[in-house]
């Protein structure tokens, strides 16, 4: 670059004021860049959106497929006589990149399918979402948390985007413009408990050390008709229970414990229901899972904390009330630098005795590992149905034998994203879905 002669000395060298100006400009840019990233000032959001868009363009399938699998069969029934009876709900991304919730039999035959498109449900982009977040083409998002109600309606999350209800034929009942995600739980009154969030681009005056660009996790209770019945901030829950220190658990600052972003990552909300015998846990207790601080909390019906379990697991998912005294959860346990050596675990914790047991762990015969996401379900015969996030579900016996395996094969050597596998209650049998097909006029 040629420097204007006015900035040069008689000997041709650059005058000191210009040097100082350039150095000052560089220092200012560095300082501004630091604070722009910390406080989400311009152009931090523009850069982040550009990075997100580049990732989507350069790796269009990276977020919903995994390559290198040697699986060739959709379903492997290792020991059919050991399987728990019933049909299975599968939530996944299909080979054509569409989203689906489907019901299959033990052989993998699809008996019913909700084929779901974002654009059909949100033809006009909702104004509470940022432009880069709005799905433009398949899959665009994924379904994380889905339940079939007693009347056959489907309730599900477009992950971090909205809660939706469809009738058995796939017609829209309602949609909730709220950032819901991860989990859907149905209580005794058919009300829907769901993980949700509020995104903050400005600070909260009462919490000045939580920096803008942060997520406030929220518990939602929603009626079967889509009306919000309860909205509870996890921030408020912790502060009201004198656990405000948890808000700053992820800080690495010395002078002031600044935090930002997704500090907690709420990934489950569950209620102790009347079908379980009470013990330490009582009807109406509410359990939440905060993945990013490796902690599960249980609150009573007055929102007072009654139980906490932490640090015996790593980045956990799907804690369940097993009975009145016991919680089981999906321990991702993704702490080995070599994924081939890693095993996830299903843990059980007794709230009375304090004992923690490993109820199932992957092994050479039945490998089990999910570095993110994952769900588990206890079946009536004592078996355990486990869903890994990338394309695989397994049913194992109490002795750890493989009874059934399902693989979401989308093309040779490639598995597709599978969010959930659930064995359905006996009311949802083949005759039920045959009648639904006839009522909906589907071939």
pLDDT in tens, 316-354: 999 999 999 999 999 999 887 665 667 899 999 999 999
- How far apart are the C-alpha atoms of 100 and 75, rounded to whole Å? 18
Q: Is 109 helix (H, G, I), strand (E, B) or coil?
A: coil
Cis peptide before 139 (omega within 30 of 0): yes
Mean pLDDT on 43-61: 43
d(CA 164, CA 181): 11
% of the chain residues with pLDDT over 70: 84
26 φ/ψ angles, rounded to the nearest 5 degrees: -65, -45
pLDDT at 52: 38
- List the structure tokens of 220: 């939602």
The predicted-structure confidence for 58-76, as pLDDT tens digits, reads as follows: 344 556 777 777 777 788 8
Q: Tell me the whole-structure pTM to 2 decimals.
A: 0.84
Determine the Cα–Cα distance for residues 387 and 406; give it in Å rounded to an integer: 9
Beta strands in 4-128 (DSSP E): 65-67, 75-76, 88-93, 99-104, 110-116
């Amino acid at each position: 670059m040629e420097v204007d002669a006015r900035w040069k000395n008689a000997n041709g060298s650059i005058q000191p004021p210009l040097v100082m100006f350039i150095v000052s400009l560089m220092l200012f840019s560095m300082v501004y860049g630091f604070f722009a990233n910390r406080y989400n000032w311009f152009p931090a959001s523009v850069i982040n959106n550009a990075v997100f868009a580049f990732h989507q363009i350069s790796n269009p399938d990276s977020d919903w497929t995994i390559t290198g699998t040697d699986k060739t069969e959709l379903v492997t029934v290792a020991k059919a006589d050991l399987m728990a009876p019933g049909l299975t709900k599968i939530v996944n991304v299909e080979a054509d990149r569409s989203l689906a919730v489907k019901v299959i039999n033990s052989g993998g035959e699809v008996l019913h399918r909700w084929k779901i498109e974002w654009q059909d449900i949100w033809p006009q982009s909702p104004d509470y979402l940022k432009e880069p977040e709005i799905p433009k083409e398949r899959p665009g998002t994924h379904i994380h948390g889905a339940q079939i109600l007693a009347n056959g309606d489907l309730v599900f999350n477009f992950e971090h985007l909205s809660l939706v209800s469809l009738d058995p034929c796939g017609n829209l009942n309602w949609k909730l413009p709220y950032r819901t995600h991860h989990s859907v739980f149905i209580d005794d009154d058919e009300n829907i408990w769901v993980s949700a969030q509020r995104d903050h681009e400005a600070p909260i005056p009462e919490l000045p050390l939580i920096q803008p660009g942060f997520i406030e996790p929220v518990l939602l209770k929603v009626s079967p008709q889509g009306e919000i019945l309860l909205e509870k901030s996890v921030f408020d829950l912790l502060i009201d229970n004198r656990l405000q220190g948890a808000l700053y658990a992820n800080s690495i600052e010395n002078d002031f414990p600044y935090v930002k972003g997704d500090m907690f990552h709420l990934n489950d909300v569950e209620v102790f229901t009347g079908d379980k015998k009470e013990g330490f846990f009582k009807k109406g207790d509410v359990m939440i899972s905060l993945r990013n601080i490796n902690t599960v909390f249980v609150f009573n019906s007055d929102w007072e904390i009654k139980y906490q379990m932490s640090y015996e697991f790593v980045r956990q998912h799907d804690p369940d009330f097993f009975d009145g005294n016991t919680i089981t959860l999906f321990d991702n346990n993704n702490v080995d630098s070599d994924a081939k050596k890693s095993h996830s675990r299903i843990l059980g914790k007794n709230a009375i005795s304090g004992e923690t047991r490993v109820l199932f762990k992957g092994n050479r015969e039945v490998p089990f590992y999910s570095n993110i996401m994952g769900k588990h379900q206890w079946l009536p015969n004592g078996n355990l149905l486990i869903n890994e996030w990338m394309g695989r579900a397994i049913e194992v016996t109490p002795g750890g034998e493989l009874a059934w395996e399902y693989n979401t094969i989308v093309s040779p050597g490639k598995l597709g994203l599978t969010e959930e596998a659930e064995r359905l209650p006996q009311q949802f049998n083949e005759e039920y879905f045959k009648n639904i097909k006839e009522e909906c006029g589907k071939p």
